[in-house]
Amino acid sequence: MTLTGRHVSYWIDSTLPSSYPTLSQNVTVDVAIVGAGLAGVTTAKLLKQAGKTVALIEADRIGVGVSGHTTAKVAALQQLIYAELIEQHGKEKAQLFGESNRAAIARLADLIAAENIDCDFERKANYTFATDADGLAKVKKEVEAAQSLGLPASFVESVDLPFPITGAIMMPDEAQFHPRKFTLAIAATLPGDGSYVFEQTRVKTVEDEGPCRVITHNGSTVTAQDVVIATNLPILDIGLYFAKTYPKRSYIVGGHIDPAQAPQGMYIGVGDNYRSIRSTPTDDGGTVLMVGGEGHKVGKDDATDERFERLESYLRSTFGVEPEYRWSTQDYISFDKLPYIGNLTPAHQHTYVATGFSLWGMAKSVLSAMVLSDRILGIHNPWADLYEATRPTPFVTSTSIQQNLEVGAHWVGDRLKGLFDSTDSVEPGVGKLVTHNGSKIAAYRDDSGQLHTVSAVCPHLGCIVAWNQAEKSWDCPCHGSRFSCEGNILHGPAVKPLEQKVCD
């Protein structure tokens, strides 16, 4: 089967490129925010509204990272979460979780209205549905859990999808929007009066002494009283967030559908092969239907093209929609199901992080902005303690043990891959691990026959990268860094590219 959708996110394809300057001289502000996705942009906006000067610093362009590759559901109903939260954390904390995510949706709606932002924001009913008896039992348990917390959830026996279900939990008045239209609009309000937006500016490190210093790869520095690291996974290894989470990729395809035939709510299934479904209006009056799923741990599957194939087939067979877009994204799963929002470490009183959004980053990004802006402004936030980034972490759980054992296994075992292969064995259109002069090499031969060779050792913590066939990238199976076939950084936490290698 041949993939038909263009390899681009609809959100990025339907918006114009941004063009903010690169940081080229030292600047001083009250707060520096590293990462211009939804969490970073919204944090910068709330702080500037409160009278702070800010510098928003982005390694690429505004909103083209994880926030530009999501399904953009802004939801407190996050598939199946409340029954597990009650079991793991108790009813009080589970209730705070629901309350805070609902408040984040309301805050986003208020901000969009106040700034008059055209970003296709719509209030929608949100559904988690089952198609078999096992899934139905889980859905009913989730309904009971959500209702026990005072959430406005209900059980429904049918939805407007073109296939039968056994039942679903419905949460009314949730939301969806166009994430890049929003981030671009908010970013445009930031420059001026001592505040800045910088793109194409990769941060190397942050020093938290006296005033903080954000040091970039080109040598320029931003000096600030406080720094927020909003880079999906923190680019700073301090705090061990790479060990308190694990990276997961998921895939999305989309195509135009007759607006009259488009499902009206937001949907996600339960079970291993679940599908996430939503539609979005287009600027020309049409509708694009999106289907997501096929998630797996980063770097664990090199046959990623088959995952796109299954989603494209589902889009055609279930909805009669021809795929026009395909893209992927990744997020970091928190072992205790709660995001980490707060100080980087107890010793870092002026450096903050927001990470571990566990595939539901839209509401949690806005929530992070609310919590961190309050912290910096000295305002009590009722949810700060629940999400405190320095809270005791459950390393000793079956999931955390398994994930960190896998990291160790990759670190050792992957060094044996390609031990006896040379660059001559790399066929056109294929990436492969090979050995050259005793060094582990990541080699890719493009369709024209040109060979691209870089070090296979991830500069983050030394794991060996794996080839991603569908996206022609080298992905680190340990902590989720991703690189182009030329070695350039596509996704952190790495802050250095793969080293170029010449294979004669």
Whichever domain contains 45, its CATH number is 3.50.50.60
Distance, in Å, from the CA atom of 464 to the CA atom of 457, rounded to the nearest integer, reads 5
Q: What is the pLDDT of residue 420?
A: 44
Tokens of 449: 């026959």
Residues 487 and 345 in one domain: no
Which residue range(s) make up the domain with 342?
A: 9-69+181-243+337-394
Q: Is 107 strand, coil or helix?
A: helix
- Integer Cα distance of 455 and 378 in angstroms: 46
Residue 389 and residue 417 share a domain? no
What pLDDT does residue 86 have? 97
Each residue's pLDDT tens digit, 377-392: 999 999 999 999 999 8
pLDDT tens across 275-307, in order? 999 999 999 999 999 999 998 777 666 677 889
Average pLDDT over residues 458-480: 83
Within this chain, do residues 485 and 369 fall inside the same structural domain, yes or no? no
Looking at the fold, whether 64 and 187 belong to one and the same domain comes out as yes
Whether 224 and 370 share a structural domain:
yes
Statement to judge: residues 467 and 429 lie in one domain:
yes
| Statement: residue 59 has pLDDT above 50 | yes
CATH number for position 475: 2.102.10.10
Half-sphere exposure of 451 (CA within 13 A, CB side): 19
206 is a domain residue: yes
| 381 plus 446 within the same structural domain | no
Report if residue 219 sits inside a domain. yes
Name the average pLDDT for the chain: 90
Q: Say if residue 235 is in the same domain as residue 194.
A: yes
118 occurs within a structural domain: no
DSSP H stretches of helix in 320-436: 361-377, 384-387, 398-413
Q: Domain tally for the chain?
A: 2
Q: Is the pLDDT of residue 397 over 80?
A: no
Structural domain includes residue 237? yes
The two structure tokens encoding residue 496: 């250095």
Residue 203 belongs to a domain: yes
The answer to whether the CB of 70 falls within 8 A of the CB of 360 is: no
At 37, which amino acid appears? G
Q: Once rounded to an integer, what is the mean pLDDT over residues 18-41?
A: 97
Same domain, 346 and 456: no
pLDDT tier at 1, thresholds 50, 70, 90: low
Regarding whether 423 and 384 lie in a shared domain, the answer is no
207 within a domain of the structure (yes/no): yes
Q: Are strands 482-484 and 473-475 parallel, antiparallel or unpaired?
A: antiparallel
In a domain, 503, yes or no: no
379 plus 344 within the same structural domain: yes
What percentage of residues in the chain have a pLDDT greater than 70?
92
Does residue 32 belong to any structural domain of this protein? yes
- Rounded to whole angstroms, how far apart are CA atoms 11 and 67? 9
